[in-house]
Amino acid sequence: MDRLVKINTAEDIFPEYRNTPIGDLIEYQNLGKKHESFDSAQLLVGMCMDNRKHLIIPENFAYIIRSGGANLRYSEFKVSYAIAVGGVNHIALIGHNHCGMVNLAARKELFIEGLVDRAGWEKEVAEDHFNNFAPLFEIVNEVDFVLSEAKRLRSKYPNITIAPMLYLVEDNRLYLIKEQ
């Protein structure tokens, strides 16, 4: 977590993100910036589906794609749509601490039992489902994953500004991640 940069003032925002929709997002979330009116989305936010995260942003400010671990690999058409049709030039990629996609193997039995008990699946089908898909969605470390996903997206969309961030569930704040 030593790579996280706490944002307490607008000056703490990295210069490349100041006076951009990414800087505005951080100011809305962390600094209580007064909400403005928007007719169209200013950026795309890719973030985890976790229910503990809530962004404090104005209406119409952002497209938001929620996916386990903030993994946009299987949402690329939606990302492309937000850029090509929606006109966004900025992506905020937001992971969070205590992510359920970290160490999925430890939740295998709970996952299988949940599908059997709640969804009515057969145990073998639930186990096959986990075994087939968990490797696609497993992340080892939240910070490292967000950085690798930002790098992957930058190679795919070289003209788009992509900011890797981490949301801490304890304080509901966004932190920029130092890249090296």
User: What CATH code is carried by the domain that includes residue 33?
Assistant: 3.40.1050.10
Q: What percent of the chain is modeled with pLDDT above 90? A: 86
> What tens digit of pLDDT does each residue of 137-153 get?
898 899 999 999 999 99
Is the same domain home to 71 and 153? yes
| Residue 144: domain span | 4-101+140-177
Q: What percent of the chain is modeled with pLDDT above 70? A: 99
> What tens digit of pLDDT does each residue of 107-129 get?
999 999 999 999 999 999 999 99
Do the strands 173-177 and 4-6 form a parallel or antiparallel pair, or are they unpaired? antiparallel
> What tens digit of pLDDT does each residue of 65-119 get?
999 899 999 999 999 999 999 999 999 999 999 888 998 999 999 999 999 999 9
Is the same domain home to 16 and 35? yes
Whether pTM > 0.75 for this model: the answer is: yes
Is the same domain home to 18 and 69? yes
Number of domains in the chain: 2
Question: String of b and e for 137-153 (b: at least 16 CB within 10 Å)?
Answer: ebbeebbebbbebbeeb
Which conformational region is residue 149 in: left (phi greater than 0), alpha (psi within -120 to 50 degrees), or beta?
alpha
How high is the pLDDT of residue 146?
A: 96
